[in-house]
Structure 1
C-alpha cells in the first residue's frame, strides 16, 4: 500500500513539473525546462524508493552489464551482411514478380480467356 502511495506521489511530482512548464510561461525557457527536469528527477527519486523502482534499477543495471558483453561486428562484417540482405531482397522481389506475372497470365489468359 505504501509503495502505491509513493508511485502516486511520483506521478504527481512529474505532473507538477509539467504543469510548472505551462504555469511559468512568462519565464525564460531554461526555467521552464528546469521545472520539468526537477519534476522528473523528484518523481524518479520517489519511484526509486519503492520495491518495483529498486527492481527496475537493478534490471537496468544488469541490462547495461549485458550490453557491454556484446561483441559488435566489424565494419567489413556489417557491410557483407547488409549486402547479403539486399541481394536476398532483390532475388525475392524477382521471384514474387515472376510468380505474380505467371499467375496473372494463367488466370486471365488461360482460364478466363481475357487478352
Structure 2
C-alpha cells in the first residue's frame, strides 16, 4: 500500500492539472518487467476509470536514466495486449519525466 501511494504521488506530480481531472488507478494486473539489451525495465499502467489514455510509468530496475526513444517501442509492445481495444495513438503531449530521467510517464490511447 505504501509503495502504491508513493507511485501515485509521483504520477500526480508528473501530470498537469490541465490534462488530468480525476483519480488515477493502478492497473495492478498490468505490472510487468521487460528485458531489452540486458536492461530490465519495470512497467506499470494507470488510468482514470472509464477513460483513455493509459499513463505508463517506466523505470529501469537499476534506477539509471532512461531514454524515451529506447523505451517508447517497449511501452507500445507492453500495452497492446493488456488493454488496447482500438487503434493505438501515442500521446506525447502527456509524456513526463522526473528530474534525472530515471522515471518516465508515457501517454498512450488505444
Find the structure with the greater CA-based Rg.
1
Name the one with the larger helix percent: 1
TM-score normalized by the length of structure 2 = 0.19
Structure with greater strand percent: 2
With structure 1 as the length reference, what TM-score do the two structures score?
Answer: 0.18
